[in-house]
Structure 1
Amino acid sequence: MNSHLSMFIFLITLLTISSFSSSQPSYKDHCSSIITESTPKNLIIHNSFPLGGYFTGGSGIIHDETSFIEYSSFYLSNIQIHETINTDLFKVESTVSFRTKPNTVYYNVSSFSYGDKPSYRSQRHFRSNYVTFKLEGFWSKSSGKVCMVGTGISYSETGDSLDHDAVLKLNNVFDSSNITSFISGSLESLNSEKGDEKNHYFETISLMMFSKANYSYSLDSKEVENEFSFESEVSEKKGLSLNPYSSSFCSLPLSRALKRLQLEYTHECNSPKNCSPVVSDQLPYMMSLKGAECSHTDKHRLKVLMVFSNKSDYWIEKGFNPKTMLIGEGWWDEKKNALHVVACHFIGIMKSSWDGTRIGDCSVRLRLSLPSVWSIENTNNIVGKIWSNKTANDPNYFKMITFRIFDDARVGYRASKYEYSKLEKVKKSCPTHKVVENKGRTIFPNVYSYDMRFGMSVRDIESNIEVAFGSLAPLSVGEQIYDDPAYTSNSNFTAESPMVMFNNASLFNISYKITIFSNATLYNRNSMFNLSSYRVTISAEGIYDARTGTLCMIGCRNLNSKAGTPLAGSVDCEILLKFQFPSLDTTNGSHIKGSIESMREKSDHLYFKSLEVSSYGIYSETAIKAVWRMDMEIIMVLISTSLSCVFIALQLYHVKRNPNALPLISISMMSILTLGHMIPLVLNFEATLAQDLYNKNFVVGYVGWLEVNEISVRIITMVAFLLQFLLLQVTWSSRKTNECENRLWIAERKATYVTFPLYAAGLLISLLLKLKRDDFHYDTSWEKMKSYGGLVLDGFLLPQVILNLFSNMNENVLSCSFYFGTTFVRLLPHAYDLYRAHNFARLSDGSYFYANPNSDFYSNTWDIVIHLGGILFAVIIYLQQRFGAQCVLPQRFKGSKYEKVSVVAESEA
């Protein structure tokens, strides 16, 4: 039995090995004509073999709409290289992975007609992000050829696993390389395109790789260096060497910034002809420099890729497209503090293959520098130029292109000095304001503080419509570059005192960089964005007066051509900017106000309509005080709501001891108070479902504390609502069991006839006053109703006063603790608002949790009026319950006009 089982296992193993062996493609059949086989010996480490590159093709296994314009990448891993008995040959084993889009399972929905009714059906598709081949073969060092065979696995569009036989062929794989070294090759399917194996066949994949072998720099000759010597405007001062950033072209942080370089063309360039260094249907808008190889022996040398992109796709990270790329060698010139690059074109590009592609025509020059001195004309960390060394008659010639960093990326470097050139113009356009001496001292932001930078909202003055938003960031104070907190950990300046004007320690020279983005469609002739697309960058310099908080500057904005491409050296410096900083101790609002105006005539094509500016943020000191105020307000909400529960409970205890008083309590008053506790619960529940924390996220880290206290407030508010509802219920029930039920309901109805028109008239008057007061800010109807509802709650005793008159009661209907205590709770927010108005700056609605001052009935006037009204109602109730309901009426209104309603129970009659 055991012998039969052993024989069976042996046969199965033999068949499996035989099947596996027969499935492997034969190296002899497919590669021996290229490289002969040799017997392998020792496993070695070889650093010259390429590790990956780019590919195109592969239809049948790569389910991706990969076109020639967007190349995907492939990688060689698990590389093992063995010596052979032939010193020129090496055996190579490797895994080759082709990367496409991520693993996805999606459904392609198509429609078809069934009679007159359209129907739909879906088909399941599967995409794999890797197609992997396991290959082995030989490499000849002398010829630079590689030939490998093996098998791979992929997935069909329906998710089925497919096996593939393939042969990999590479050319120009040598131990050394230079700028012209270019490894090309292919991966070909060994399966038949016809027959049963059709699903295993795939289209030939064309490969391209840059050599990783010992690289020899050859383009930085003395003749080439002379072509960069005409640049005389760059400072020759030392100290701006890239140390310790000398190798950072191939690493962060500088490489991140080099991906966003904006190109600027001359006025003659409206099309790519004689203006673009690469093949393109339109002028490239952006360029990025990618370090392809950095020298390990010379820290100032690198191989670099210059990648150009159009305006429509510069945000998209593309693959490899040689038509829009140049490859070159660069070196850092320490004397001129500049990067010099000699770049070459990809030549012989075919439609769908790398065969015949080579590198040549090294006629492009690039110069990149990090300016040591900034001015209003140049406030960029990185600037440069691109040009051709060919003559204007050559078809590959193009006009010089300048470039600069697109935005303020953190490149780890800033200039060391700022030079002013517009201060005389600033003096003429911005007269110095005289400071009015007074007993108090008004303090404005320190010129070195973080409060000098802010985000802003921009409105058109004529239409009063918000048309843009942006930010202002200081560049320098005096000649000293501003110590930006984005670059350093300190928010205050630590450098020497800057130069000041007029020998006055309160007047400072200051420069700014301003970025404005359009959020409107007002691209008319008089719009600031008429020649600057959706984004305007303004460099400005002027004077900040620390005594008055005024900032006045002259600015220069960069301009584009009619085609929308940036123009080299084209700026509009006829811009006047004025800003008023509020004092640090202001209580009337801490938002910075200002204007941006064109100093040109209206007939000038560069003229634009005046804009009004308002800052988004607040001072850091104001924010600290606001956090303390918000904490205090949350505590006050908790205390007020808790007191309401206590006063309602005391009223319930009062009516339990005095049941005869229950029928005389105003149903309208109880309903108003009940709704006053119920509506906040409903609104809080709605806010919980919406999870809208936008307005609550006032200070980082504050939302968690706020949510904890919101839960406490909701619980206490729920208790207050239940107690108030219980009081309403027992009041309503007492009317049904009382013998004077009809007379009391008649009195209640008469009181309603008086109070309801008063409420309606008050609402109408408040709406009319609000519409007259608000010019451009419109609240929703719900906001208006909430504000007026708060006023009705403040005067909650009005229905009880009117009911007392009609019922002519003389009972202690309400306990003193209830009507005086509830009045105190309702008036406390208005007393707090009076205190807050004189001690805190007024901010946005989202920062207020108690007595929102932006509501209609929170102001100095209304706070006093509501206080007087609330106290008056409480005093009237006190007098009515002590001396009779009609004691507050004149003598001639007393008597038979109001009939006293008996409240004696039937059992006591």
Structure 2
Amino acid sequence: MKSHLTITMFFFLFTLSIISSFSSSYPSYKDHCSSIIQPSPTKDTTIITHTLFLFPIRGYFTGGENIIHDHNSFNRYSSFFFPRIKMHETINPDLFKVESTVSFRTNPNTVYYHVRNFTYGDKPNYKSQRHFKTSFVTFMLEGFWSKSSGKICMVGTGIGYSKTGDSLDLEAVFKLNNVFNSSNITSLISGSLESLSSERGDEKNQYFETISVMMFPKANYSYSLDSKEAENDFPFEKKGLSLNRFSSSFCSFPLSRAIRRLQLEYTHECNSSENCTPMTTDQLPYMMSLKVTECSQENKHRLKVMMVFSNKSDYWVEKGFNPKTMLIGEGWWDEKRNSLCVVACHCIGITKSSLNEARIGDCSVRLSLRFPSVWSIKNTNNIVGQIWSKKSTNDPNYFKMITFRNFENDRVGYRATKYEYSQLERVKKSCPAHNKILKNKGRTRFPDGYSNDMRFDMSVRDRESHRRIAFGFSNPLSVGDQVYDIDQNNNLPVSDSSFTAESPRPMVIILNNGSVNSFNISYKITMFSNSSFEDRNSMFNLSSYRVKISAEGIYDARTGTLCMIGCRDLNSIAGTEITDYVDCEILLKFHFPSLDENNGSYIQGSIESTRKKSDPLYFQSLEVSSSTIYSETAIKAVWRMDMEIIMVLISTTLSSVFVGLQLYHVKKLPNVLPLISTFMMSILTFGHMIPLVLNFEALLAQNPNNKNFVFGYVGWLEVNEITVRIIIMIAFLLQFRLLQLTWLSRKTSESEANLWIAERKATYVTFPLYAAGLLISLLSKLRNDGFQEYSSWENMKSYGGLVLDSFLVPQVILNLVSNMNENVLSRSFYFGTTFVRLLPHGYDLYRARNYARLVNGSYFYANPNADFYSTSWDIVIPLGGILFAIIIYLQQRFGAQCVLPPRFRGPKVYEKVPVATEVEM
């Protein structure tokens, strides 16, 4: 939208700059137009408004190649319009003086490409804007309009540009025919813009080739083709949904968008365009677009449409104007048939060099469009219809009937009210029901057939090569004969007037053993190829980049198994689709994980062809997997995240309190400060600093528009994140102050040398222990978790958490080396900090039993990437932390070496030196 607005503003400013540069002198009207319309004096300077020119009039042109240079030409026809028109009355009531700005430009700058490249549009760049002026020209014209003859003749000047970008002064005469107050389907305004310079124009006055123009008038449009005779041309088909059932029309969104992308299908006899299409093209068109140009809500919902055909499988079938691929028609909604009826006509009399003789004729094409009220495995589209010819089979312009349907991903707002099954007997033979009673019945739960949990995305792999060849998505269409309302994100079926909430659900199957947990169900599955791997037996061998499968079968909610027969659409060699050309020899099996699964859950399945390998429609079996998050799991996860935020607040607050108690302890006993391990203080300080740095970096890098968290964005989490950061900042400042005091006390101590020697010896022991621990823990983690998912950085972060869990190790070793016999650490500090560090492991044990393992972004407390979390680690680490805390307690009570055997105890190597003054806090 922004790119279109930018181009529109650029176009408007460019037009104004050209208008302002026009010369005040015009070419002589009498010399070039008096033979067509005699001029007449104006009554006064009053400007009048005429209904014919209420809005800018748009049309199409060809020619003028030497002043309009199309760099991305799709065809030879481009658009022109009147952005500004003024009219004055004259003394002759039949004549009006007209002043107008007429602009010509080539095709729009936004071009849509084939979806296989996953490029939906190219935004206008600097290069396209640089060439904009060479593909655009505007003329300032004035002249007269004769209301009775419908002719307009104007003369004026313009400024254009050569291919090299040089400015050209242009003079022209503009002539139009059939400009009347009223119009109908046959009305077509045509004319030409001719150069008044000689073909040998100089540098200032440049000659240009004649520009031929054509446009469809909108003034006082009168519908004329919806006659009684025309109504008889439309047979009574299977009745569809009523248009009055919905608060929508063909002129409103989203229906107007949906009918602009209709996929064409041909009979088996159509291998070429001969007698198979109303267009004179070499290839069979692939898509058709119905563009509503006029709309009336009165009477029969009348509308005027343009039927534009395209032989390119583009997502958007609009790029320029080509009369050879277009029909003009009128349509009306027939309430008896509940269908849209359209009578379409050809544009004839058009040559390669001129549009002057263009006219509307040969209105022998008919189109019928309806919204099916009943779906089946071979028809699951919101919109279907036919195009046919009234001509006899001997006529050269006759063509065979074409059917069409709406494009796959269009959400129309119209859905059938019923689904009819036809493959259930085949499903029962392919997947026989398990009649024995399950041992875990009543204990294991699986998704209900009505829930949104039945939708899932898919990752598709080739069973033989195990290569990921496609991705896709699966949406249920119906449970029983009632249709799901997927567009409204509702987990209840769309029902007709006879089905109410109090009515019994007719889609439940009662089996012989009395079970009521099996459902008839249908699906719509779409898969997109994401691999260049091509094989003759690949599912994509006849379907290019996309495969669409409609499937129906039985879902057993006792076991979570889904078995279906599917039909895939097939493309012909020409790239167009054939009516009823589908492959229904496909077996699909899926197994849903239990709702009570807490270790992560994956939907597993397979897609197999039941044909023989020699059959050209056979394809290799596929494995399907999907990481699913059930609705119940998501709700529990949101509650878990709320609880984890609270636990983070509590834990961080407790850390601040325990560090504050240690500061109070050293204030009372300042002589113990030199005995505190600076290595331990550094570990704890970095432990508080790193979350602050990472959170600040994430705050700077975050995109406010990227709130695509799987559970939805929970706004209040941001408030709590700010609170957590503030508390972490407080804990960091307190811990940093404690580290600073410890370091300064070493500088002022009389036993500084002995203390640093002891610290150095302790470090020599501690570093190898941590290195060995890193190696052992990484090997253990890789053995338990496998060689996937975890990067080196994630493993380092996990080990960093383990180092923090064992923060007391440096103090224990320093006590042994220095043979300390003082209360260096307060009990509240080392027992409390140990409790804070070990609490996440206890919580992880609880979480593993009550919550499913989800994506890492959902963890705010006990993040698996920030520490070692598993059943074994959650037991070993707390036991180790408690052991170190007990050792510190024993060392401070009975001497540092009391934990060693008597024969390893040595003499004291450090004597306490009293300090006369307290260290200032």
Shorter-normalised TM-score: what interval? 0.7 to 0.9
State the 1:405 CA deviation. Answer: 0.9
Asked whether the equivalents of residues 60 and 199 of structure 1 are also in contact (C-alpha less than 8 Å), the reply is: no
Query: CA–CA distance in 2 between the matches of 1:123 and 1:224?
Result: 51
Amino acid of the structure 2 residue aligned with 1:633: E
Query: Tell me, what secondary structure is at the counterpart of 1:539?
Result: strand
Query: CA–CA distance in 1 between the matches of 2:853 and 2:23?
Result: 82
CA separation of 1:598/1:750 partners in 2, compared to 1, >3 Å: closer, same or farther?
farther
State the 1:418 CA deviation. Answer: 0.8
The one-character-per-residue Cα deviations of 1:268-315 (angstroms, maximum 9, x if unpaired) are 555545544424454422211112334576525443211112336443
State the 1:510 CA deviation. Answer: 1.5
Corresponding residue of 2:451:
449
2:646 pairs with one of 623, 635, 650: 635
State the 1:653 CA deviation. Answer: 2.9
1:798 pairs with one of 792, 797, 809: 809
Corresponding residue of 1:475:
477
Corresponding residue of 2:113:
none
Query: CA–CA distance in 2 between the matches of 1:490 and 1:155?
Result: 61
Equivalences, count: 869
609-618 vs 303-312, greater mean Cα deviation: 609-618
Corresponding residue of 1:424:
425
Query: CA–CA distance in 2 between the matches of 1:586 and 1:346?
Result: 65
The one-character-per-residue Cα deviations of 1:742-783 (angstroms, maximum 9, x if unpaired) are 554444444334433332233223333444445573321101
Query: Tell me, what secondary structure is at the counterpart of 2:508?
Result: coil
Corresponding residue of 1:235:
238
1:484 pairs with one of 483, 486, 509: 486
State the 1:342 CA deviation. Answer: 3.8
2:531 pairs with one of 510, 520, 526: 520
Determine if the alignment matches structure 1 residue 499 to structure 2 residue 500.
no
480-489 vs 871-880, greater mean Cα deviation: 480-489
State the 1:906 CA deviation. Answer: 8.5
Corresponding residue of 1:145:
151
Structure 1 spans left out of the alignment, 5+ residues = 1-19, 110-121
Corresponding residue of 2:348:
347
1:894 pairs with one of 900, 904, 921: 904
781-790 vs 387-396, greater mean Cα deviation: 387-396
Corresponding residue of 1:597:
608
Residue pairs, 1:554-703, within 5 angstroms:
554-589=565-600, 592-615=603-626, 618-691=629-702, 697-698=708-709, 702=713
Determine if the alignment matches structure 1 residue 764 to structure 2 residue 775.
yes
Query: Tell me, what secondary structure is at the counterpart of 2:699?
Result: helix
The one-character-per-residue Cα deviations of 1:776-798 (angstroms, maximum 9, x if unpaired) are 73321101111111112111112
Asked whether the equivalents of residues 794 and 865 of structure 2 are also in contact (C-alpha less than 8 Å), the reply is: no
The one-character-per-residue Cα deviations of 1:50-104 (angstroms, maximum 9, x if unpaired) are 9432233455765654747164433346656677676765555555444666899
Query: CA–CA distance in 2 between the matches of 1:593 and 1:211?
Result: 59
Query: CA–CA distance in 1 between the matches of 2:575 and 2:297?
Result: 42
Determine if the alignment matches structure 1 residue 882 to structure 2 residue 873.
no
Query: CA–CA distance in 1 between the matches of 2:487 and 2:298?
Result: 36
1:133 pairs with one of 133, 137, 140: 140
TM-score by length of 1: 0.85
Amino acid of the structure 1 residue aligned with 2:871: N
State the 1:575 CA deviation. Answer: 2.5
Residue pairs, 1:822-901, within 5 angstroms:
822-853=833-864, 857-891=868-902, 893-895=903-905, 898-901=906-909
State the 1:827 CA deviation. Answer: 0.7
Corresponding residue of 2:116:
none
Query: CA–CA distance in 2 between the matches of 1:489 and 1:428?
Result: 30
Structure 2 spans left out of the alignment, 5+ residues = 1-21, 111-122, 917-921
State the 1:140 CA deviation. Answer: 4.8
Asked whether the equivalents of residues 381 and 405 of structure 1 are also in contact (C-alpha less than 8 Å), the reply is: yes
Query: CA–CA distance in 2 between the matches of 1:392 and 1:195?
Result: 54
Query: CA–CA distance in 1 between the matches of 2:620 and 2:775?
Result: 39
State the 1:467 CA deviation. Answer: 3.4
Amino acid of the structure 1 residue aligned with 2:829: F
Query: CA–CA distance in 2 between the matches of 1:545 and 1:673?
Result: 54
Query: CA–CA distance in 1 between the matches of 2:176 and 2:572?
Result: 47
CA separation of 1:290/1:406 partners in 2, compared to 1, >3 Å: closer, same or farther?
same
CA separation of 1:674/1:353 partners in 2, compared to 1, >3 Å: closer, same or farther?
same
Corresponding residue of 2:548:
537
Corresponding residue of 2:742:
731
Asked whether the equivalents of residues 272 and 280 of structure 1 are also in contact (C-alpha less than 8 Å), the reply is: yes
Determine if the alignment matches structure 1 residue 26 to structure 2 residue 33.
no
Query: CA–CA distance in 2 between the matches of 1:906 and 1:470?
Result: 75
Corresponding residue of 1:358:
359
Query: CA–CA distance in 1 between the matches of 2:494 and 2:774?
Result: 52
Asked whether the equivalents of residues 484 and 491 of structure 2 are also in contact (C-alpha less than 8 Å), the reply is: no
State the 1:388 CA deviation. Answer: 4.3
The one-character-per-residue Cα deviations of 1:856-887 (angstroms, maximum 9, x if unpaired) are 72122221221211111111111121112222
State the 1:711 CA deviation. Answer: 3.2
Determine if the alignment matches structure 1 residue 185 to structure 2 residue 227.
no
The one-character-per-residue Cα deviations of 1:327-385 (angstroms, maximum 9, x if unpaired) are 23434444443334343333343234313333344444433232221100100011223
1:75 pairs with one of 65, 71, 81: 81
Query: Tell me, what secondary structure is at the counterpart of 2:143?
Result: strand
Asked whether the equivalents of residues 484 and 490 of structure 2 are also in contact (C-alpha less than 8 Å), the reply is: no
Amino acid of the structure 2 residue aligned with 1:894: F
Determine if the alignment matches structure 1 residue 54 to structure 2 residue 64.
no
State the 1:602 CA deviation. Answer: 4.3
State the 1:147 CA deviation. Answer: 1.9
CA separation of 1:461/1:21 partners in 2, compared to 1, >3 Å: closer, same or farther?
closer
Q: Cα RMSD over matched residues?
A: 4.0
Query: CA–CA distance in 1 between the matches of 2:582 and 2:23?
Result: 73
Asked whether the equivalents of residues 262 and 406 of structure 1 are also in contact (C-alpha less than 8 Å), the reply is: yes
Corresponding residue of 1:16:
none
Query: CA–CA distance in 2 between the matches of 1:753 and 1:44?
Result: 97
CA separation of 1:791/1:240 partners in 2, compared to 1, >3 Å: closer, same or farther?
same
Query: Tell me, what secondary structure is at the counterpart of 1:714?
Result: helix
State the 1:176 CA deviation. Answer: 5.3
The one-character-per-residue Cα deviations of 1:203-246 (angstroms, maximum 9, x if unpaired) are 533211113356566656777666654xx8x424xx72323669
Q: Percentage identity across aligned positions?
A: 73
Query: CA–CA distance in 1 between the matches of 2:441 and 2:546?
Result: 46
Query: CA–CA distance in 1 between the matches of 2:125 and 2:334?
Result: 53
Query: CA–CA distance in 1 between the matches of 2:569 and 2:815?
Result: 75
Asked whether the equivalents of residues 627 and 699 of structure 1 are also in contact (C-alpha less than 8 Å), the reply is: no
Query: CA–CA distance in 1 between the matches of 2:23 and 2:426?
Result: 87
Amino acid of the structure 2 residue aligned with 1:473: N
Query: Tell me, what secondary structure is at the counterpart of 1:420?
Result: coil
338-347 vs 420-429, greater mean Cα deviation: 338-347
Query: Tell me, what secondary structure is at the counterpart of 1:838?
Result: helix
Query: CA–CA distance in 2 between the matches of 1:567 and 1:102?
Result: 34
Query: CA–CA distance in 2 between the matches of 1:293 and 1:524?
Result: 49
Amino acid of the structure 2 residue aligned with 1:74: F
Query: CA–CA distance in 2 between the matches of 1:856 and 1:612?
Result: 34
Asked whether the equivalents of residues 520 and 554 of structure 2 are also in contact (C-alpha less than 8 Å), the reply is: yes
Asked whether the equivalents of residues 801 and 867 of structure 2 are also in contact (C-alpha less than 8 Å), the reply is: no
Amino acid of the structure 2 residue aligned with 1:523: E
Determine if the alignment matches structure 1 residue 167 to structure 2 residue 168.
no
CA separation of 1:846/1:72 partners in 2, compared to 1, >3 Å: closer, same or farther?
same
Query: CA–CA distance in 1 between the matches of 2:702 and 2:822?
Result: 49
Amino acid of the structure 2 residue aligned with 1:840: Y
Query: Tell me, what secondary structure is at the counterpart of 1:327?
Result: strand
CA separation of 1:48/1:746 partners in 2, compared to 1, >3 Å: closer, same or farther?
closer
Residue pairs, 1:334-413, within 5 angstroms:
334-388=335-389, 396-413=397-414
Query: CA–CA distance in 2 between the matches of 1:528 and 1:21?
Result: 66
CA separation of 1:685/1:536 partners in 2, compared to 1, >3 Å: closer, same or farther?
same
762-771 vs 536-545, greater mean Cα deviation: 762-771
Query: CA–CA distance in 2 between the matches of 1:171 and 1:710?
Result: 70
